[in-house]
Structure 1
Amino acid sequence: MTRVVAHRGNSWVAPQNTLAAFEAAARGGAHCIELDVQLTSDGHVVVIHDDTLDATTTGSGWLKDTTLAEVRDLDAGSWFSPAYAGQRVPLLDEVIELLLRHPSLDLLCEVKGEWTPDEAVRVTRPLRAAGLADRVVVQSFWPGTVGALRTADPDLRRGLLLGDVGPDVLGLCAALDVVMANPHGLLLQQDPSLVARLHDAGLRVAVWTLDEPTDWAAAVALGVDEIITDRPDHLAGWLAGGAV
């Protein structure tokens, strides 16, 4: 069965990477939510995609130069719709609370940028302490960050995001001891054998970010394990309707 992963929550109907979007994903039939974590200037883990605040909050400037108190004072919902005014940039701890309220919902957690092991433990430790290890995969585009996550918690499942595929991709996945390799959808068009090669190496595959039925059908035909989408409720309905 192909699993539905809600990209930054149900970001088609609610502001991305907010608790409202994650709740909407749970109601919409997603098996898993995908989100992005970064650190504030004072070392707190918050859920936001961009390095800057401008696109999805009422703030501006670099997140890395902003304290948690300053980030939490921002509105992260009104840019999407006035109905979501007052949504905040979530803490990782708030997402953990949401996952505990929705025991059927898993987490695909992207760690943005280069992190050290001491920084990575700020993500792995609370997930482990909450008893969520069997429901979480932590991932990154940055091999060094995946390595830091391994050092922080060797037994927490990890994934490598693929924006391109070099000749050493399978060796890199083996060296990082990941359980997932998650490619951009265009890579499947360019190399239809990619999913089979990753599966043969013992890896699960979640493809991103596909929002149209024609792309869903192509990905399912290639055998992907999970589809990351901005439209998880639509994808769940499409799959339930026996469209493939």
Structure 2
Amino acid sequence: MITSRPTEARSGVPLHQAGDPEPAVTTRTATSNYGKVVTQAWDRVHPRLTHRTAWLDHEGELPLIEGTLVRLEVEHLSKGRAAPAVWLWSSKTGATDADVDRAWQAFLRRFDLEHTFRLFKQTLGWRKPRLREPEAADRWTWLIIAAYAQLRLARPLTQDLRHPWEKPATPNRITPPPGSAGPFGTPASTCPAPPERRNPTGPAQGPPGTKDRDRAPRYDVGKTVRREKTLIALQRLKG
């Protein structure tokens, strides 16, 4: 992401000769995982937008969206890995020390969100059904969220769920499910399997001698709309 500084009229040394500006906010935080965390923030810095991705079909001059540019630097990473500085951008202007710390802490918590969606898809079966109505897809998503909320409430019940020969669980950590018992522990292996669906043996519905080639529309749950990446590709698609 390319960013630029404010372009209001000013006197004195030209902007391109003034050097790097002093940060508006500087914070230092001691953490258990990354050591000392130092952040520097510059106010009213806008990204240099281009006619790509989300701004691909925007007509007219692109806007200037000012925000806060944050430089995040940690003392060390896990397993002795290199710790290069990370640049973040927030749409909030006039950020305080608390706003800057909240921004980089939320950035680190993004991994929790990614694992939550992974649980939705792989364990709770969010993407499994092939639904025929968009409204049904929305209802199924809300059911998955409700099921996840119940699992969160029942989390203390599984803190030390283990076999007699397994080591005790670490405090505040959930033991992984046994590999042969399914994703929900031992009860999953004892549930009876549903009977297999029998294939119909009669003739298919419709006029005699014809096949029904038109399949019912299916709506994918959580489908992301894909856009063309360049303006040339969009113009080629429109013809």
What range describes the TM-score normalised by the shorter chain of this pair?
under 0.3
Q: TM-score, normalised by structure 1?
A: 0.21
Q: Which has the higher contact order (CA 8 A, sep 6+)?
A: 1
Q: TM-score, normalised by structure 2?
A: 0.22
Higher helix share: 1
Query: Rg: which structure is higher?
Result: 2
